[in-house]
Structure 1
Amino acid sequence: MLATAIPIIGREVRTASRRPMDALSALLFFVVVGSVFPLAVGPDAALLAAIGPGVVWVAALLAVMISLHRLFLPDLEDGVLEQLLLSPRSLAGIVGARVAAHWLVSCLPLVAVAPLMGLQFGLAAPAIGVLLLSLLLGTPTLVLLGALGAALTLGLRGNVLLALIVLPMCVPVLIFGSGAVAASQQGLPADPHLSLLGACLLVAACLCPWAVGAALRLAME
């Protein structure tokens, strides 16, 4: 698995370095959406702190969504996807490596700037720490679920169907992620919400690569 993952991840990172705006589009969207809300709501500190966790998580979900169409489409257009399907290596391992590379390129910068977004909404330091941890657990799950939607809609024009497939599956992650931060703000333990996020990640990591591989084979037939 490691021998399969390292070349694929390295290739994706090199591709992203040659097209930085494609890789940073999700980050820019996340920052813009998160910054507009405080301007629209006003300077009410209590209100900003109350809506902050939900706004940050919704912005993260939408930022992940706008980058999903690039997950397999370039490989389909240049014929790399056919070679991957014919490879003797595990297709689930290849899919897992692609998802990991996509998360590193598109989502890790988003997670890195999330504490600044939390400060913008007036979140306390413990709540910002929980926000960072929840995004580290939740965004890989969003990408895994999004990869399944991207594989099922591969080759179709427009992203509306992709959003309709992926968004309902992401609702639990959104609820648990924002709920963890809200619980921290109220002085309650965030461990139950974080444990549920971890469980969602484990289930998605076990099931989604095989499901995505099957969907890719169907899309190429």
Structure 2
Amino acid sequence: MTNIAGSVIERVAIIDDEAGVRAAYRLELEQEFEPHIEDGPLGLLDTCVKRMKSHVDAALCDHKLTSRSNYATYDGAKLAAALNQSSLPAVLCTRYEPAKLEEIRRYRPHIPVLLHPDEFSQETFRYALETTIRELQGEFTQWRRPWRAQVHIEDVEDQWLYVRIPARDENKLIRLDKSDLPMELQNRIQPDRRLYAMVNVGADHSRDLYFMDWES
């Protein structure tokens, strides 16, 4: 039983569609926590969230959960975000982040920390849990706090938007999925358009940026 940011964390769900990976995480976590292996299938998203809230205190989740048989019908970023929104702290740990960046980014408002398996350890997981719990309590780190920011649309290509954030003083373009914007804005998107969104402009890396509450 461990106290992290005022919360007692004992049982931790390990969610991954590969049995070998689940076993490896278990060995790492059992030094401090009581790992609870989720062998699957996970079932419907809402059902899964309710079940985990009833028997674990936190969760460690991979992103790609749909590769093996019928383990899940949704990806881990969606599940981790749903768990955090339900006040169950969840940490996403995945090697798919570079390839699935836009797919994961839409859920980042509700995923405070994203780990890579190469950097995973008991210590990094504990840090990630603490950051997540504090954010669920309303205590944001500087790199996660959202601010209203102007977003410049530089280009539009099929389903993708390429945007720039002047508040970050960057020329680097960020690719977003058009479907992540409200429906009333999607059909009015064009190059050189200026929109506003809540963005964590203090993020050290553009991969950690998230966008929410869009407006014209």
TM-score, with normalisation over the residues of structure 1? 0.24
- More helix, by proportion: 1
Greater relative CO (CA pairs within 8 A, separation 6+): 1
Identify, as 1 or 2, the structure richer in strand. Answer: 2
